[in-house]
Every structure is written in structure tokens, then in C-alpha cells.
Amino acid sequence: MKLRNGLLLGGAFLAGVAALPASGLLTRTLGPSLGIPSALAQDAQDQGGNNADTYRLLSLFGDVFERVKADYVDPVSSKTLVYNALNGMLSGLDPHSDYMDPSQYNDMQVQTRGAFGGLGLEVTGDQGFIKVVTPIDGTPAAKAGIKPGDLIVSLDGKTVEGLSLNDAVNKMRGAPGSKITLTIKRDGVDKPIEVTLTREVIHVQIVHQALYGDIGYIRLAEFDETASAGIRKAVESLSQQAHGNIKGYILDLRNNPGGLLDQAVAVANDFMTQGEIVSTRGRHADDDQRWDATPGEDIIGNAPLVVLVNDGTASAAEIVSGALQDNRRAIILGTRTFGKGSVQTVIPLPGDNGAIRLTTARYYTPSGRSIQGLGITPDIRVAETATPELSFGPAHESDLNNTLSNTGGVPETSGPPPRTDLPPVAKEIPAKPPANWPSFDPDKPGTDFQLQQALKVVQAMAGENTATTR
């Protein structure tokens, strides 16, 4: 069976139902298709101990299954019952483990390749809400003005209450050209917002670049299979545009919800020449892994680098931020990150039955920190707005239900030593915009307070490098 490690997006549920010995119904009807070994129940009984308890609980499940199958008000298929049970089984473990039916698994594979159908929204679920993590740049959702933190409360006039995250996502997907109306609750807005969107085939351009004077700016929206290649292409394009005269770079990982673990390692490696990038530790010591940077010159020639982060910076984006911070390769500027420090393994199931997305490890930064529930604390704290915006719904991993504990890492106070390499201008950077700062407009970089402070820091770092090389 092929295993694939990745910090993936969205939510769904689990698979791998065992035979239910109360009547053998599940084994007879679904065992062959779901890969259920018919002797599992007997093995559990023979082995005793905890396995015997498992046998009893599976018998309970079988009793409930048969009762629902026989007496529910409407006929319901065995597959629907099992899929629903699998959904509940995994969603109760943690916010990121789930089961994907064949259609959902195919959608996930397409999405990680950088093209999929729908509205262009990354969403998560908690406490019955569907929360927007981020709209994807250039998609119908982004063009309609949907914002991170928006809560989707109904679809085409029907409430999302009671829907699983997968069901809500499936309703938002559909044939290109078809329309759907979302009703949104937004912080600071008293009335519901209705937005009608036209579905498109989403071709995700996850890397955007710009040249601000002699500073190169690169925004990475997520970590799909093209992330590292896109970063390298952006650096090459910016260098050509500036005729090689670039003093430093800004890597913008704000509202980047993560993605594939291997791409997180690759992107961090793009900017590092030595040192550890990340390690993972799971239930079994034999499965622990560590990734180190490849010796050689990084893609920006060791130029000054500032990384922008906020509470929407999660998982794979936190791996990159933590690696560059602990190795003193970049200065992290912004606000505390989301705090998703777990690794999910995608396990395809036999017989075209979808896949399990199962939390199998925690990851640790090079200094040994687990950022699970804590996030990455920036080296220079800069808020996005002059007044803190109240969040309706989860702003960090620690706000979700059933989150993993933060264990196995060094204490937060025993992480990397305080930085002594920050440029003097760091002490002059305001922690928040002045009261008269203009409202943020994504088409006007001058209104992006965090970006403007990052430009100051990179310029100062570039000046110091020039002074030391003379």
C-alpha cells in the first residue's frame, strides 16, 4: 500500500471497518469491498484483553447498524451507514483526521496538483460552522470579496447546520458555469451578506511576485505539488526584471493554510544551505524522520529574507517559518501563526474505497519545539490593523475541538535563544498601524502595513550586509 505524507487541507472522515460479529452482516455485505478480514472478530476474541473489549464494542456497533438498517423511517444503503460511521469515527479524534470517499479522494488528488473545480475557497469546520480559511487568489470567491474568517451559514438558502464539512464542500462544488448563493456572517457586520458565485474550474496560481524597488516580493498561497518550482521560477523572474540588482526578499506566507510536507521541506531547502529543516515523531519510534538542508548555495544567494506570517499561516507554512527562524536564515514578521503541528498520512484504501487521512505524527522545529497549539511567535510582532479584530470562530488551532496536546518538544522557554541578529530598525517598527492608517486594499501595497514594515527591515538588513562587505 502506498503511503503519502502531507499536511493537507479541508476536512472529511476515516475508513477501515472491522467485521461485526453480532450477525456477520457487515462482513458479508461490505467486508470484501472494504477489505475487512472475516476472521478479525474471532481473532479479537481469542487474543483476550483489550482485543476482547474491541470484540464487544464491534458487536455493539453491529447491533446498532442492523437496527438502523431494519427500522429507519426510509430505506438506507449499507454503504451510506458505513461511510457516516467512518466520518464520525475520525472526526472525533482530532480536527484533521478524516475519511474520504472515492469522489472526495479524487478531488483531493486534483487539488494538490493545483487544479480543481469549485469556488476557490479553503474552508474548515468547527462547532457546526463552515469557516473560510482563505479565498484562493484570482478565483470566484476572491473576486467576490469573501474574506478569511467569514462564516458560511447557508448555501442556496439552506442552513449548513447539521451538515458535515464534506457535505458542505460537495454542495459548493458543481459544474462550471453553474451558480450558488452563499450567506455569510462577517465580523463587524450586523446583517447577513449574500454572495452569488459562478463555479469555475479552478486553476490555482499559488505563487505571485512583485518588485518593490530593489526588494523582491514572493507570495506563496499554499503548498501544492508546484510550490518549490513556483518559488524558483519567481526568483528567476524577479532577478531578470531587476537585472540582477535585488538587495533582499520578502516571502509572504500570510493566510497560507499549508499543504504537502515534502513541499514544505523543499521550499525551506530553497533558502537554506545547511541545518535541520524539520523532524517528525509518531507513535512508533521506527517511523520518526528528520529532514536536513542540502549543502550548496540557496536560490537567492544568501540575500536578506523576511517572512510575513499571521494567524492564517498554518502547518506546512509553519514548518518553513520555524526552519528559517531557528536556523537564523530569515526574520519572521507579523502575528502568531495558527499552531497546526501535526502530520497527516493519506492512505489509499483497496477496492476503490477512497482513502484515510490519519494524523500519524507531530512535527518539531530544528530547536526541538512543537508548535502544536502554540504557533510560531514572530521575531518582530506587527499587527495588521490598528485595533484588534474580534474573531467569530476559531482563530488558532487551540480554539478547535479535540486538538492534539503539545507534547514531546522542548519547553517553549527552552527553544532557540533570543535573537541578537535583528537590525537596529527592528526596535523602531511599530507593533500596529497608526490610527490614521488607510484601510487595507489588496490592489494597493501601500495600505499593507505589515508589508511596509517588512520592506523597512529588508532594506536595513541589506544595508548591514553592504557595510560588512566593504
Identify the active-site residue in 164, 315, 321, 370.
Answer: 315
Is residue 315 part of the annotated active site? The answer reads: yes
Name the DSSP class of 427: G
How many Cβ atoms from other residues are within 10 Å of residue 65's Cβ? 22
Alpha-carbon gap, residue 431 to 384, rounded angstroms: 9
Alpha-carbon gap, residue 76 to 68, rounded angstroms: 8
Using DSSP's 3-state secondary structure scheme, residue 123 falls into strand
Q: Which residues contact 320 (CB under 8 A, 6 or more apart)?
A: 251, 253, 264, 267, 268, 307
Contact of 191 with 152, CB cutoff 8 Å: no
The CA angle 309-379-149, to the nearest 5 degrees, is 25
Contact of 397 with 403, CB cutoff 8 Å: yes
Q: Which residues pair with 129 in a beta bridge?
A: 126
Burial of 420 (0-12, 13-18, 19+ CB in 10 A): exposed
Identify the active-site residue in 340, 342, 379, 448.
Answer: 340
Alpha-carbon gap, residue 159 to 165, rounded angstroms: 13
Half-sphere exposure (Cβ direction) of 459: Cα atoms closer than 13 Å:
11
Identify the active-site residue in 107, 326, 379, 448.
Answer: 326
Angle between helix axes 102-112 and 165-172 (nearest 10 degrees) is: 70
C-alpha cell at 412: 517553549
Is residue 326 part of the annotated active site? The answer reads: yes
Burial of 25 (0-12, 13-18, 19+ CB in 10 A): middle
Q: Which residues contact 373 (CB under 8 A, 6 or more apart)?
A: 339, 341, 396, 397, 398, 403, 404, 405, 406
C-alpha cell at 284: 512508533
The CA angle 32-37-40, to the nearest 5 degrees, is 150
Q: How would you classify the pairing of strands 248-252 and 215-220?
A: parallel
Alpha-carbon gap, residue 147 to 70, rounded angstroms: 46
Buried b (16+ CB within 10 A) or exposed e, 130-166: bbbbbbbbbbbbbebebebbbbbbbbeeeebeebbbb
Alpha-carbon gap, residue 146 to 140, rounded angstroms: 9
Catalytic residues: 315, 326, 340
